[in-house]
């Protein structure tokens, strides 16, 4: 597995990481836990060194899963996890108060079976807590050796700048893919200016860009994609045009649509490291195979131009969720 540097503080990760959320959260039916432990360990044997989780996934069970799986080779891998929800207090709301961060970091360390977290993200911006206070608290955790590097998730430029001025950020984790390019005008230039890496989540459009989920596909009734505007039957039918683009490019490159999607991200900037999730070994192998797919400048520009002209149907999240998100 090739590696990439996130930020200028020294964090080095696999060029393509492994998002572990779906192993115990969100995508149903959920897989067998022991099979997921074997998958993570097999991924490590194949060169994977970058594993992403969060306390809210489960909640808690995903951190426990990742912690058990990587325990035999803990010092050889990078674990990213997140704080910022109030799940420890049984609330669905946000909580990034300094005393709460200090409490939940201890709980995450215990679940992950480690004494340090490589990359610690604020999962969502908390409008009730100044980001400077959050950054200062994480700085204390770094000084104490409990955290090595830190980042934000789903934050925009003003927040990124304020946080970075207090405690330098190594990474931003936000949704970014061929069908969700909202970061390009403002956020990505800010990251480049400040020397902060980007970790795209949902780099395959929550599976849509693989070509598997056409308009006729029926998700499990508990699958969270059922509530996403871009996954209505009408939206999937309208958005199929981007899958057709990927299939055409994949045929030319002897690759798959998923690999083209990931290769496009890798070609955009040398400090971008996507974290596609999967619960199946063949899909993991397909995903990491994207590092061998090289897109020319002209091919990247072609994807940019064609996808920019597509009028995608459906928003990122339900309107109520978007209204409650501070950035």
Sign of the CA dihedral 77, 80, 86, 92?
Answer: negative
Strands (E), 84-230: 117-122, 147-153, 171-175, 197-201
Exposure letters 215-242 (e unless 16+ CB within 10 A, then b)? eeeeeeeebebeebebbbeebbebbeeb
Distance of CA 323 to the CA centre of its chain: 21
Q: Is 223 helix (H, G, I), strand (E, B) or coil?
A: coil
Element (H, E) at 63: helix 61-70
Provide CB contacts within 8 A for 274, sequence distance 6+. Answer: 16, 17, 176, 199, 200, 201, 203, 262, 265, 266
- In 3D, which of 302, 301, 298, 278 has the Cα closest to residue 290? 278
Q: Is 14 helix (H, G, I), strand (E, B) or coil?
A: strand
Decide: 208 and 231 in contact? Cβ < 8 Å.
Answer: yes
Active-site hit among 57, 120, 121, 213? 57
**Residue bearing tokens 């067998």:** 32
Q: Alpha helix (H) ranges present in 167-214?
A: 187-194
DSSP 209: G
Residue 57 annotated as catalytic: yes
Decide: 78 and 49 in contact? Cβ < 8 Å.
Answer: yes
- Catalytic residues, which ones? 57
């Amino acid at each position: 597995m090739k590696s990439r540097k996130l930020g200028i503080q020294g964090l080095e990760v696999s060029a393509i990481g492994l998002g572990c959320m779906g192993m115990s959260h969100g995508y149903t039916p959920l897989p067998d836990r022991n099979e997921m432990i074997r998958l993570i360990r097999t991924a490590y044997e194949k060169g994977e060194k970058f594993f992403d989780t969060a306390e809210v996934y489960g909640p808690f069970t995903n951190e426990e899963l990742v912690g058990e799986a990587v325990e035999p080779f803990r010092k050889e891998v990078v674990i990213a996890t997140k704080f910022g929800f109030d799940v420890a207090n049984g609330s669905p709301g946000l909580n990034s108060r300094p005393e709460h961060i200090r409490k939940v970091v201890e709980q995450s360390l215990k679940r992950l079976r480690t004494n340090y977290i490589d990359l610690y993200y604020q999962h969502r911006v908390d409008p009730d807590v100044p980001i400077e206070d959050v950054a200062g608290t994480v700085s204390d955790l770094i000084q104490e050796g409990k955290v090595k590097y830190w980042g934000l998730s789903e934050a925009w430029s003003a927040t990124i700048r304020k946080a970075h001025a207090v405690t330098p950020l190594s990474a931003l984790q936000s949704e970014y893919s061929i069908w969700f390019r909202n970061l390009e005008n403002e956020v990505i230039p800010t990251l480049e200016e400040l020397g902060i890496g980007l970790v795209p989540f949902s780099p395959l459009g929550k599976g849509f860009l693989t070509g598997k989920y056409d308009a006729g596909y029926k998700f499990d009734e508990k699958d969270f994609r059922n509530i996403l505007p871009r996954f209505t039957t009408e939206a999937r039918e309208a958005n199929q045009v981007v899958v057709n683009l990927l299939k055409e490019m994949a045929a030319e490159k002897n690759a798959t649509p998923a690999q083209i999607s990931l290769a496009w991200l890798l070609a955009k900037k040398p400090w971008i490291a996507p974290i596609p999730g999967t619960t199946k070994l063949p899909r993991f192998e397909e995903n990491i195979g994207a590092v061998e797919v090289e897109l020319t400048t002209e091919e990247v520009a072609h994807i940019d131009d064609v996808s920019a002209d597509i009028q995608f149907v459906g928003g990122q999240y339900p309107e109520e969720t978007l209204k409650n998100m501070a950035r």
